Structure formats: C-alpha cells, structure tokens
C-alpha cells in the first residue's frame, strides 16, 4: 500500500523526495446515536479501513491537494494565506478547515505542502470519511511542524473545523473515536466531560458487518442541524421545570416526570430518543462487560426502533436493511449507524451466518430499493499513525 501511494505521489507531484505516509481510520458507532451533542454517552470504535496521506513540506506557502478518490478533479491548489471555505474547492475544504483551525488556535503553519489522499472508506457512507480526513490532517500537521497537541486535542480541532469552517454542527464522537482508536476495543465516551474508557470487544466468534445503503448523504444537506436545534429547544423547555445542563443528565424516570414541559409532540419524541438512547448505551456497555452479548444486541435493535420512530432519521433504505437483518438467523443485533438519512447499518452476526446474512439482506434490499447494497466485514483498528 505504502509503495503504491508513493508511486502515485511521484506521478502527481514529480518526485517523492521528503514525502511521508500517514493513516487515520474511519469509525463505526455500535450504540449511542445522536447523543453526543446532547451531553450523553457514545460507544464507537475505529476501523482498520480509513484514509491514507502522502505529504511533504514545500518551500513556499502553496497547498496542492490531490485525492485518488476524486481523481477527476485533478490537483486543487490554494495558499495558506487564503484559508476560506470555497464550494468549488470540494473535498479540500476538510483539510483546509483543519489548517484554518490550527491557525485560529495560534499554531501558525510555516510552509505549504503537497498532499495526496487516498481512502478506502466508502464516501458518504456514514463511516466518517470526513472526520478521518480531519484527524489525519491534524496528525500530519503535528508531525511535520512539531506542534504540541494531544490526540484528544486533534479530535477537538477536527470538530471545531467541521463546525466553523464546513458548517456542520456535528458532535465530538467521530473525531474522538478516530483520534483515540484502539485495536479490538470500543471507546465508551461521556461527551459531557470527555472522560472515556476502552472496552474490549469480544464477540464470541461473531463479526461486525457493515451494510452500506449506497444512498448518498452529506451532513450539510441533511436534517442533522435541524435535529440538533429540536433537542436544544426541548432542553430549554425542560429547564423551565428541572435543573439540568443537558438531556444526557436525565434518567428515563425523570424524563417521564418532566416531559410535559415540552410543548410540541415532535420535540418530545426527539428528546425522548436522546434520553433513552443514552440510558441504552449505559446498559449496553454493562451487558458487554457481563459477557451478555445477546442483551447488547437487543439494545442495538431498540436503538434502531427509536431512531426510526422517535428521532426519524432512518428512511426506507436503512429500515429495509435492518428489518431484513433482524429476520436472518445468527444476527445478534442490527441498527443504523452514524447520522442516518442514508449511510450504513451495523450488525453483529455469528461468523458462520455471515455469508447467508449478506446474501439474504442483499436480496431483500435489491428487491425493495432497486439497487444493490454493499457489505463489509470490518475489524476494529488503531488510531492515526505514521506508516
């Protein structure tokens, strides 16, 4: 892989003198969806698939970007002194946003760079290809210019750039899962204070299978920001009757007691999801620690139902994949993962049933939706690194 990337870099930028190769993973969230911007818990893990970068410093302040995933766009250039969001600059707005964020935080980037990216995360799949690029950019900036930032800070800078430069009000989950990833472990993160612990994922011979709906989505044009404001409004209403800083502070009982303060039925369902999903995440991690994988799977299923009925972020594509999965023998749990509105599902499937799962869910999807889904049996990998 490394050799192949260096050859491509040479082809695009002339030679490989001074070039270094980097990698940052993608992520999948096992449970705890749409809880991260509500002060709740999440349980994601980094994957072994992700984004590669070949980068070298230049003598001037020019930035030259090329991605093998967007080869038709060719080399896209700009200058360090001109880091502004530009719709015609396409995917380069993500690495540019991180460079802008470093500068905003007082870390001045002294030289431009030649940058080649190549990812094996399906684009727009909900496996966080954009957060992967953000963390990767922060990681190579730190390595090339010696900035003193921790991986946790790289996650926060990635989120800051996505919020401020790319206009998506995302939470911290994706960037954190990627920057702090650890092989064979999921990260149990409390987004209220960023305390976290690693939980080994021992699935007793079961596999994590991702089904990609191939319905493209971008967070920017989805209803993501709308859901976020609905939750904020519901919280403000609840704060009239109970003293809490976030929906994540409420137990199910407390929510039932105070929910009357929420003046719209829709906002009540949104808030209910945020509260119950957070509690499900706590229960799921307990179940996993106790070795009760079946209970973990049931909580995943309940998570999907809540995202479908109360939060309304699934859509026919994701529902078809999950509902077909629930019917297959050997499926321990299945749910949509990520923001929703398209993207992927995550299922835990007994190893001997994986082939049957892919065939049956694939057929049901093709029949109902009219085009194919893609399937990936994934492994949990480490965070960003130099190769």
Site string for ligand GLA, 31-50 (x = CB under 6 A): --xx-xx-------------
User: How far is 207 from 204, CA to CA, in rounded Å?
Assistant: 9
| Tokens read off for 66 | 């090329």
β-partners of residue 21 are 54
Q: Shortest Cβ distance from residue 36 to ligand GLA (Å)?
A: 5
The answer to whether the beta carbons of residues 113 and 77 sit under 8 Å apart is no
345: β partners: 211, 336
269 binds ligand GLA (CB under 6 A): no
Rounded Cα–Cα distance for residues 126 and 345 (Å): 9
Structure tokens given for 383: 């965070």
Smaller CB separation from ligand GLA, 166 or 214: 166
Helix (H) or strand (E) holding 2: helix 2-13
Q: Which range of residues in 68-76, 116-124, 132-140, 171-179 is near ligand GLA by CB under 6 A?
A: 171-179
Interface with ligand GLA, residue 27, by CB under 6 A: no
Query: On the CB side of 10, how many CA atoms lie within 13 Å of its CA?
Result: 9
Asked if 173 is part of the footprint of ligand GLA (rule: CB under 6 A), the reply reads yes
Identified binder of ligand GLA from the candidate list 119, 171, 297, 381, rule CB under 6 A: 171
Q: Whose Cβ is closer to ligand GLA: residue 34's or residue 207's?
A: 34
Q: In what order do the strands lie in the sheet with 344-350?
A: 331-337, 344-350, 206-212, 374-378
- Tell me: does residue 338 bind ligand GLA (CB under 6 A): yes
Q: Which is nearer to ligand GLA, 173 or 282 (CB)?
A: 173
Select the span of 101-109, 169-177, 199-207, 379-387 touching ligand GLA (CB under 6 A).
Answer: 169-177
Q: Please, are residues 252 and 276 in contact by the beta-carbon 8 Å criterion?
A: yes
Nearer CB in complex with ligand GLA: 340/381: 340
Query: Is 382 an annotated catalytic residue?
Result: no
Give the shortest CB-14-to-ligand GLA separation in angstroms: 36
Q: How far apart are CA 119 and CA 367, in angstroms?
A: 30
Q: Does 339 bind ligand GLA (CB under 6 A)?
A: yes
Exposed, middle or buried by CB within 10 Å (0-12, 13-18, 19+), for 312?
Answer: middle
- 27 contacts 343 by C-beta, under 8 angstroms: no
Interface segment toward ligand GLA; rule CB under 6 A; list 28-36, 59-67, 200-208, 242-250: 28-36
Phi-psi map region of 361: left, alpha, beta (phi>0 left; psi -120 to 50 alpha): alpha
Catalytic residue, candidates 36, 60, 143, 174: 174
CB of 42 to ligand GLA, least distance (A): 7
* CB closer to ligand GLA out of 336 and 349: 336
Catalytically annotated residues: 174
* Site residues, ligand GLA (CB under 6 A): 33-34, 36-37, 170-171, 173-174, 338-339
């Amino acid at each position: 892989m490394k050799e192949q990337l260096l050859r491509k870099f040479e082809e695009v930028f002339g030679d490989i003198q001074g070039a270094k190769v980097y990698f940052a993973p993608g992520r999948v969230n096992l449970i705890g969806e749409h809880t991260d911007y509500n002060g709740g818990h999440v349980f994601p893990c980094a994957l072994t698939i992700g984004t590669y970068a070949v980068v070298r410093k230049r003598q001037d302040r020019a930035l030259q970007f090329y991605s093998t995933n967007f080869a038709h766009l060719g080399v896209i250039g700009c200058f360090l002194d001109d880091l502004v969001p530009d719709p015609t600059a396409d995917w380069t707005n993500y690495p540019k946003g991180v460079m802008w964020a470093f500068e905003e935080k007082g870390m001045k980037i002294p030289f431009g760079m030649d940058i080649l990216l190549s990812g094996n995360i399906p684009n727009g799949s909900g496996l966080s290809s954009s957060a992967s690029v953000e963390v990767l950019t922060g990681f190579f900036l730190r390595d090339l210019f010696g900035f003193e930032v921790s991986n946790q800070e790289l996650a926060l800078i990635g989120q800051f750039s996505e919020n401020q430069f790319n206009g998506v009000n995302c939470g911290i989950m994706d960037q954190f899962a990627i920057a702090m990833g650890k092989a064979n472990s999921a990260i149990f993160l409390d987004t209220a204070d960023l305390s976290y612990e690693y939980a080994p994922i021992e699935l007793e011979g079961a596999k994590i299978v991702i089904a990609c709906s191939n319905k493209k989505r971008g967070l920017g044009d989805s209803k993501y920001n709308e859901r976020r404001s609905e939750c904020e409004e519901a919280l403000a209403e609840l704060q009239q009757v109970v003293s809490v800083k976030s929906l994540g502070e409420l137990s199910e009982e407390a929510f039932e007691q105070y929910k009357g303060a929420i003046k719209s039925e829709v906002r009540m369902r949104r808030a209910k999801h945020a509260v119950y999903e957070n509690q499900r995440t706590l229960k799921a991690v307990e179940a996993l620690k106790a070795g009760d994988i079946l209970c973990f799977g049931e909580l995943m299923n309940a998570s999907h139902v809540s995202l479908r009925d109360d939060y309304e972020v699934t859509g026919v594509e994701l529902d078809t994949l999950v509902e077909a999965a629930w019917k297959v023998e050997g499926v321990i749990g299945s749910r949509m993962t990520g923001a929703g509105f398209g993207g992927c599902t995550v299922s835990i499937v007994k190893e001997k049933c994986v082939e049957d799962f892919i065939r049956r869910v694939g057929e049901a999807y093709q029949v109902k939706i009219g085009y194919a889904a893609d399937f990936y049996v994934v492994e949990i990998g480490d965070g960003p690194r130099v190769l």
